[in-house]
Amino acid sequence: MKVSYSYLFSLVVVLCFTTALLGGCKNKDAHATHLNTKPNIVFILADDLGAHDLSYAGSNYYETPNIDALAKTGVEFTQGYAACQVCSPSRASLLTGQSTARHGITDWIGATTGKTWTNAHNTKVMPPEYKHAIPDGHTTIAEALKQNGYKTFFAGKWHLGDEPNTPENNGFDINVGGWEVGSPKGGYYAPWNNPKLDYKYPGENLTMRLAKETASFITKNQKEPFFAYLSFYAVHGPIETTQQKWEKYRYKAISLGVPESGFEMERILPIRTVQDNPVYAGLVESMDDAVGVVLHTLKELGLEENTIIVFTSDNGGVASGDAFSTTNIPLRGGKGYQWEGGIREPYLIKAPMLKNTPKTIDYPVSGIDFYPTLLDLAGIESKPNQTIDGVSLLPLLKGGSLSTRALFWHYPHYGNQGGEPVSIIRKGAWKLIHYWENGVDELYNLEKDPSEQNNVYQNNLKLARKLRRELDAYLVNTNANVPEINPNFDEAKSIKLRENRKNNMLPRLEKQRMDFLSKNFRPNEDWYNSSLTKD
């Protein structure tokens, strides 16, 4: 068969054009795939959950299999801290990467200050003013991610200001349940009171609903990079659970053995010393159940290998004040306190795109570090308008190291739970606490004394004074507000109040503890159909 040269030339042209076209399409597809390989981020924040309120962290009473599984497959930072011992300041630090003195939210939003405080409370100093929202002009982590192509979602507790200081105006495309309050108004079982989230049926569980809303968002947005911020109201008071979970943990407490005493006096208030509250245990398990819904959704959708997961809490477990729910032993104190029980947290990061990550990391880290770490993991250059106090933990996640640095806390207020107005510096093994009531400093070596039982200030004066100078410089640099002396403080009245708490409050708490464990215990009226709900 004879073929003309013109036919061959035409055939070559067609083949070359087709190859070029297919190659171009292939390159275009490859580019599109690359654009969709940004890691998704799921940030799970518990409220008032202590460092030892999880079974993987040493509790033999609470059961948290889903969070345990996350700890097993991710990286556990064994010295993880919240940025504050109460909620709003800590939450602002998570979103801005700043320490509390710098962004100015130094107490839970709604707490009184100055003479208004001292007119109602007989205290040695008057707490200073604080900001009631994230300052204008700041770039939140949600805004930074949104500017780089992420779909952003918020569910649950906000407590960082009322209109216009809402999640929607701080970088979140969608807000489910986030408003000005810091606790679940109406409780954990519908009918609850939340203008940002209506309930579907009487007895619906709020914690599970927030998880399902988060799972729904993930499902609908699985084809684009997303940032889902699930901020539970749990395990904040009022503590509530189902009858089934209460019965389970009542039996477990009894089988483990119920100590005769479950409280002792701290400096100002009684404090719980045992984990045997079956109501709180049920609430913890419900929160873990909800975490499981989100983790299961990621697995079912095949998103596990491209999704960064964070789990942490905003402050220590409530051992004094509020519901006196848990103990943080061997750590001293709890929510609101200046000791480790008030600021040490569960701190987990799962970044599956990193291979051969350490299982545990002992380097002291803080809530301020999530901001630069997540941007680093997402490959986003940080260009915020504010100073970032945190550091990226990516070198640690890759098996490397970071230099020793100072961590700071500034809480010039009184906690409802017995905490005192303080500023704190931790550097290396050493932690110095400065008390604003009397100017006294305490110094602890956390490597030798993690329970903070031995104040070694007098034995280490040179080191203590050096740390104090560094703390003072930080406070000056951040223009920190500090308390003023209350000229009307009544010492005798204060002593009488403490004696009353020791002689009357402590026995009442012991009685309530035993009531919770009694087979005749009945829930409060606002546990609407909690014995019937399946969530």
Is the pLDDT at 530 greater than 60, yes or no? no
Whole-prediction pTM value? 0.92
Give residues with Cβ within 8 angstroms of 174, minimum separation 6. 152, 153, 154, 217
- Phi, psi of 394, deg, nearest 5: -55, -40
C-alpha gyration radius of the chain: 26
Task: Indicate if the pLDDT at residue 27 is higher than 80.
Answer: no
**3-state class (DSSP) for residue 153:** strand
* Residue 505 pLDDT greater than 70, yes or no: yes
User: Which one-letter amino acid corresponds to residue 247?
Assistant: E
DSSP 88: H
User: How distant, in Å, are the alpha carbons of 227, 365, 369, 391, 398 from that of 375?
Assistant: 11, 16, 10, 11, 15
Determine the distance from the C-alpha atom of residue 33 to the mean position of all C-alpha atoms in its chain, rounded to a whole number: 34
Percent of the chain with pLDDT over 70: 91
What is the residue type of 500? N
Name 4's Cβ contacts closer than 8 Å, sequence gap at least 6: none
Question: What confidence tier does 522 reach under pLDDT thresholds 50, 70, 90?
Answer: confident
**Parallel/antiparallel/unpaired status of strands 365-366 and 80-81:** parallel
Whether pLDDT at 482 is above 60: yes
Q: Could you tell me the strand order of the sheet in which 307-313 lies?
A: 174-176, 151-156, 226-231, 40-46, 307-313, 347-350, 75-77, 360-361
Statement: 39-403+492-516 belongs to CATH 3.40.720.10? yes
Q: Which two tokens stand for residue 333?
A: 């104190």
- Give the whole-angstrom CA distance, residue 296 versus residue 302: 10
The CB-side HSE value for 497 (13 A sphere, CA atoms) comes to 12
- 357 burial (CB, 10 Å; 0-12 / 13-18 / 19+) is middle
Name the 3-class secondary structure at 155: strand
Considering only residues 22 and 397, tell me which one the structure prediction assigns the higher pLDDT. Answer: 397
> What is the distance between the alpha carbons of residues 317 and 336, in angstroms, rounded to a whole number?
9
Q: Tell me how long the chain is.
A: 535
Q: What is the DSSP letter of 528?
A: T
pLDDT value for 4: 43
Give the residue extent of every domain in the chain. Answer: 39-403+492-516
Whole-number Å distance between alpha carbons of 210 and 303: 20
Q: What is the average pLDDT score of the chain?
A: 92
Asked if residue 25 has pLDDT above 60, the reply is no
Local confidence band at 527 (pLDDT 50, 70, 90 cut-offs): low
Checking if the pLDDT of 367 tops 80, the result is yes
Residues 6+ apart with CB under 8 A from 202: 190, 191, 528, 529
| Tens-digit pLDDT profile for residues 209-265 | 999 999 999 999 999 999 999 999 999 999 999 999 999 999 999 999 999 999 999
Binning pLDDT at 50, 70 and 90, where does residue 18 land?
very low
